[in-house]
Structure 1
């Protein structure tokens, strides 16, 4: 920084030392270059989540440039891996999958982003096998959360079996075959006993969840405890203003009341039979007591740890992109 920088307003100083490069939507869209569009409009519709509309134009403007960047990063990492193999004289060593973490608030659209990226990256020639796993399966079962008095803290860092998640990622990163992970059902709002998902040496693994960028509490004895993000090669944070997240969450809750909540197996089926006003009050309570608190205390503070921040506006369109400088 120059002497003049110290006399500048605080916000100007912050911009000058930011670890991110900032792009408008139009600037980012130009970075697509000649990347071909490999998804159809119908495919995009099938990949979107409830109350998270996404258009083919959004895929072209935001996700094609991102898939191009990630393809270049993966290719560079694969080249580095081969160089390391030659150095170690370990030609038969199994390559490590490239792991991408996707973080952000409830209702911001993480699932749609993860599925769009999975579909696009799987169509690049050097990454034909792309798996997607959510951290929901690593929540403690409801019975354990009840035992620990954590049901109203579900989604907070302490509600996850972090050790199991770390072991899962370690096994995948080391190239193990058929690594088993737990399965979560949003219908019954719980981990499904006996059900597992298997990850078998993918080229890329996408891990999506609220707190995937959350650092672990540092041990006082100086022991080495890894963070979940230590296993990431790249991370994305989906961002939006609190008032928009609030609006999107409540709208989604009310739409679910008319659809999934009516399933007899649904954990939330009681909200399908109450009045619209009562359901709205419950949605507001869940947002303010659980989701907003978790956002402010645990999720939002991890934003600056991401490699890429995608910031959404009112219409769910991504309006700004921030890419961490190398």
Structure 2
């Protein structure tokens, strides 16, 4: 089904031949935005010889934990106000204007924070995929995609992913998940559920899901993470 989406994007891309093209892709935490972005990038490059596609995560523009704590919004991490959306927009504008490459911050999942010691260079592609929970807040995107799934399934994916992070980082003292791994299982499960209800589900219902109607395509995923349908809205 990714090929259907690829074909739809290429039809629109070809209308403005060789123009810098931005695809935005959003959905809940743990719904599979990064995976779909990679599959789509590979499909686009396979389907159009010479096409270059890069992926950029909006997490690179989330404020560092220190800033979120200073502003009293750490428990709203992932909400629109926790991102420097102006900086993200400026970087996209630079690429649209013809800048060969941009330098952006590096977000590392294992520390759950921006890594102040490193940056990432993004070379100007022909198509840029911007993925993340605030991706659709970018103005003037050329194609917008929403990934949808049942809330119960998303929670199970979030739970599984978080437990995997804890397991993988239980021997790494510098990891965000190291301290969490030392807590009793019942407390870990309670904290995960609390984070889901108070932060991720609230973010989904208040800020992410309302943007669904504004997209060009909606991808729906089944319990096993497989895509079962794509609805084209434009």
Query: Normalising by the residue count of structure 2, what TM-score does the alignment of the two structures yield?
Result: 0.94
Q: Is the 8 A contact 1:96 1:174 kept in 2?
A: no
For 2:233 and 2:80, locate their aligned partners in 1 and report how far apart those are by CA, in whole Å: 25
For 1:127 and 1:144, locate their aligned partners in 2 and report how far apart those are by CA, in whole Å: 41
1:231-268 Cα deviation digits (max 9, x unpaired): 31111100012111112111221222211354222112
- With 106-115 and 68-77 compared, the bigger mean Cα shift is at 68-77
Task: Name the structure where strand makes up a greater proportion of residues.
Answer: 2
For 2:153 and 2:134, locate their aligned partners in 1 and report how far apart those are by CA, in whole Å: 20
Paired residue for 1:38? Answer: none
Q: Is the 8 A contact 1:236 1:309 kept in 2?
A: yes
SS at match of 2:114: strand
Query: Normalising by the residue count of structure 1, what TM-score does the alignment of the two structures yield?
Result: 0.68
Paired residue for 2:16? Answer: 77
Shift of the alpha carbon at 1:178? 1.5
Aligned match for 1:147, one of 70, 73, 88 = 70
1:105-148 Cα deviation digits (max 9, x unpaired): 00110010011111221223345311110000101111111110
Shift of the alpha carbon at 1:279? 1.2
SS at match of 2:176: coil
- With 271-280 and 259-268 compared, the bigger mean Cα shift is at 259-268
Shift of the alpha carbon at 1:285? 0.8
For 1:292 and 1:183, locate their aligned partners in 2 and report how far apart those are by CA, in whole Å: 25
1:86-107 Cα deviation digits (max 9, x unpaired): xxxxxxxxx5421100100001
Rate the CA distance shift 1:260–1:180 in 2: closer, same or farther, 3 A: same
For 1:269 and 1:244, locate their aligned partners in 2 and report how far apart those are by CA, in whole Å: 26
Does 1:197 pair with 2:129?
Answer: no
Rate the CA distance shift 1:297–1:262 in 2: closer, same or farther, 3 A: farther
Paired residue for 1:64? Answer: 3
Paired residue for 1:44? Answer: none
Shift of the alpha carbon at 1:298? 0.4
Aligned match for 1:206, one of 120, 129, 132 = 129
Does 1:304 pair with 2:213?
Answer: yes
Q: Which has the larger radius of gyration?
A: 1
Shift of the alpha carbon at 1:183? 1.2
- With 310-319 and 139-148 compared, the bigger mean Cα shift is at 310-319
For 2:78 and 2:170, locate their aligned partners in 1 and report how far apart those are by CA, in whole Å: 20
Structure 1 segment 238-277 matched on structure 2, within 5 A: 238-277=147-186
Q: 5+ residue gaps in structure 1?
A: 1-61, 79-94, 215-227
Higher relative contact order (CA 8 A, sep 6+): 2
Structure 1 segment 98-109 matched on structure 2, within 5 A: 98-109=21-32
For 2:214 and 2:30, locate their aligned partners in 1 and report how far apart those are by CA, in whole Å: 20
Shift of the alpha carbon at 1:194? 4.2
Q: 5+ residue gaps in structure 2?
A: none
Q: Is the 8 A contact 1:96 1:172 kept in 2?
A: no
Structure 1 segment 307-322 matched on structure 2, within 5 A: 307-322=216-231
